[in-house]
Structure 1
Amino acid sequence: MANAAGWSNPNFFPIGVWYESVLTQQDIDLDRGAGLNTYVMLTSNSDLSLVRRNGMFAMVDQDVPGNGAETVAWLLNDEVDMWAGSGSGTWTGNYPGEGEICVSGRLDCGHDVLRRLSAKLPTGDGRMRYANYGKGVMFWEPDSEASRFVNGYTSLLSNDIYWYTDPNVCLSSSEGPSVGVTPATCRRAANYGLTMDRMREVDALDGKRQPIWAFVEVGHPFSEASAPTINANQIAGAVMNSLIHEARGIIYFNHNFGGPCVTQHVLRDRCGAAVRPTVTELNKRIAGLAPVLNTQSYAWQFNRNLDTMLKEYAGSYYVFAMPGRTGGTGLQRLTLPTGMTGARAEVLFENRTVPISGGTIQDNFAAEHSYHIYKITRAG
């Protein structure tokens, strides 16, 4: 279904928003204006025909009358690894806030939840099956249990760790510190790439690969007073680092549960005024780079302090670079692979070039969220 909808076109890159409502043409216009093309979960009163008529796409959690080509995937559920836990217990049918989750009284029935939810959805229709996971797969569970979640039910997945705004992830010994992230290095764009690496690592345990999407917050998703709010440059850094770590789609978490401006529509209303222009420009860049992003990356270490990605497309090399998890700010040298020659590299979206000298590029990375994309055109 996704292929038939054009998702196999190398010029397409999925950019989604989590749990929105689509009720009017204005809703669609605002979202398309921000560069979105996919709704990952929709409210039950949303109009799928409106999504379809506007060439947008949806991933929904139930087979509702009126769905069609816009519905490219079935969504199983969100963070089952956290709210139902791992293990082979029996699900009561309750969701969080409705009573006991598992018959045993312990959180040990996540796999029963996913099996039963999956069984309710149509089969053989060509649609992908998608689930989002959380801290269970990322931090708490051994690889064997994490793999059961990641590799047992889906053909597309994601994980939502909000490194910039989660009040606990930097401090809880069972979370960030458990994977080597210290409080001093927690609020960094590079940790969104760490989430991607963990998901790709677990996904590979069965010898098969699924597309893994990145989840990035665009506001204040926690209600605690101690929770920070992500800013526009941090959003851009988190998204770009996720792409460098091979994200095959982006999902924006569009809800503010705390802070000075509570909303379910950050990218539509006044609460997102400070971030919407940057997100819009970022999405425009991603869409323009889609043919590059959809190619296979080369393995090469340009600088151990930087997170980097090397692509080749239409006669040019593309080098994506930004600071890594523990360093990489300030003036940095990128050592190019042998044979990648040229006098200068164009720095995309910055209206400048940098010289190539002795097989290296030198450039400044002003902040942990700074990124540069270099285009080097092959000679001849």
Structure 2
Amino acid sequence: MDNKRTQRATAPSKTLLVFSAGLLIMSGCSSATGNEPAPQVAQRAVDGGGEYYSQFTNGLPDDAGFFPLALWHESLTDEAGVQADKSFGINTYIEVTPDSDTAMAWNNDMYVLSSLPTEHQNGFVLPDEVDMWAKSGDGVWTGAWPGEAPVCEPEDSRCGYTVMEKSLAKAPKDLAVYANFGKGVTFWDPDEPGKTFVNSYADIVSADNYWFTDPNICSQHEGGKRFETPRDMTGDECRLAANYGWTVERIRSLVEPEASKPVWGFVEIGLPFVDGPRAITSQEIRAAVWQSIIAGARGIVYFNHSFGGTCQSQHVLRDCGTELSGDIAAINAEVEKMAPVINAPAVEGAMTVNGPTKAAAKSVGSDMYILAGSAHAAEQQTEFNVSCELPRTIEVVGESRTIRTSGGKFTDEFVDGNTIHLYKIAGASC
């Protein structure tokens, strides 16, 4: 067991080379005021590096214009359904049903990562959320799945590492391996078991915390464990798009070496819980997607199943109305248009934010972009202080407006917790 764990815990050599070259110190930016030394500004490549996927057989595209927008556990049995998914902006499937014909995705220039070996496969998927149902440990796995029979032997032992190792042994050689985790890694376990799960088995990792719809996530035993003294979260603290970014940050914090592999984000698009408080709204979906990207997500996976509410379906995008699918298509089109920015190097040390806002700076050619989202439920104003010389006005992408700058600063309004602003600063190369 330990041998396999060591192999996956050490990122492929190509990845390490890309990452080690990804930090570039820049000296061309001047102080915002001119009265103090300019802070050290650095560009850092996206996690894993821009050529991460090409090291794998039949890997996902490394094209700067490609950003994975995936559905979780969809069925590829109906050509019209697959074409509908593509029209909604979906380009990838993570896990598919056993009766799926993956050639349908292939024929539509889409990608498939699956636990079922097929001819048209771009990656292998390990069992979902093993950290929750088998838990961290090297115990004996009975081979059973949750609900079938006791999973570990003895029944109260922990065998999650064993499940992952035995499942990894079935992965086709040289394919990228994907693993998704849950509340064990994000909330319940200390860092070390989380690091074992995140680093030992997969090349691409994610976790799903459904902050808008989970009836239990606000409790002191789950989301509230984030506080130094665990407590129940208030509604405004918990039902917040920025928390999807926190989930991505949590997984990224466990990756070793730092930033050596991609972390993807999960967002629900229905009501995943029979007793959930309500379904997520389109505005919340957009905010959760962008908050995940701001936090460093290199892909988005939509949970496409709804077990409660007015439209209960395993295929929410296909079945639950044109308003929702149209909204998701618009979100995905926005992300796809911004993919060269999302995939561009991050600019570190060039910006400070004064206000409850999450933000990431990106460098694209001679331009700088700032992706920003509210981290507070109430209306608020945020000041951005950029250490590079700014033009007099900057563009707010997709909003048909500009903002004036003054003294290396600009200010904008964030009306609620779902507010996202994307800024283009022409000629501010950092």
For the aligned pair, the TM-score class normalised by the smaller chain equals over 0.9
Q: Quick check: 1:266 aligned with 2:316?
A: yes
More RCO (CA 8 Å, sep 6+): 2
**1:246-265 maps to which residues of 2 (within 5 A)?**
246-265=296-315
Look up the match of 1:188: 240
The alignment's TM-score, normalised by the length of structure 1, stands at 0.93
Name the counterpart of 1:164: 212
Which one of the candidate residues 144, 154, 162 is aligned to 1:94? 144
1:220 aligns with 2:268: no
Alignment partners' CA distance in 2, 1:355 and 1:207: 37
Amino acid at match of 1:334: F
1:296 and 2:350 correspond: no
Q: Distance in 1 between matches of 2:221 and 2:191?
A: 15
Q: CA deviation at 1:294?
A: 0.7
Structure 1 unaligned segments of length 5 or more: list them: none
- What whole-Å deviation, never above 9, does each CA across 1:339-362 have from its counterpart, x for those lacking one? 231011111111111111222212
Aligned ranges 1:69-218 → 2 under 5 Å: 71-123=121-173, 126-171=174-219, 173-180=220-227, 182-184=233-235, 185-204=237-256, 206-207=257-258, 209-218=260-269
Q: Partner residue of 2:426?
A: 377
Moved more, 239-248 or 50-59: 50-59
- TM-score w.r.t. the length of structure 2 is 0.82
* Offset from partner CA, 1:172-231 (integer Å, 9 cap, x none): x22111003722300000000110111011113x5562100000000100011x432100
The superposition leaves residues 248-286 of structure 1 with CA deviations (integer Å, 9 ceiling, x where unpaired) of 0000000001111100111112x2444222211111111
| Distance apart, 1:62 and its partner CA | 2.2
Distance 2:117 2:160 in 1: 22
CA distance in 2, matches of 1:379, 1:10: 20
Query: Does residue 57 of the first structure (1) align with residue 111 of the second (2)?
Result: yes
Distance 1:364 1:379, change over 3 A: closer
Q: What is the distance in 2 between the residues matched to 1:253 and 1:370?
A: 22
Residue of structure 2 equivalent to 1:313? 364
| Aligned mates of 1:111, 1:339 — CA distance in 2 | 47
Q: CA deviation at 1:157?
A: 0.6
Paired residues in the alignment total: 368
User: What SS does the aligned partner of 1:169 have?
Assistant: coil
Aligned to 2:407: 358
Let me know the Cα RMSD of the aligned residues. 1.8
1:233-248 equivalences in 2 (<5 Å): 233-248=283-298
Classify the secondary structure of the residue corresponding to 1:106. coil
Residue 241 of structure 2 aligns with an amino acid whose one-letter code is A
CA distance in 2, matches of 1:81, 1:268: 31
Q: Which is worse superposed, 289-298 or 248-257?
A: 289-298
Is the contact made by 1:167 and 1:228 (CA closer than 8 Å) also made in structure 2? no
Q: 1:120 to 1:6 in 2, by over 3 A?
A: closer
Unmatched tracts of structure 2, length 5 or more:
1-51
Indicate conservation of the 8 Å contact 2:129/2:181, yes or no.
yes
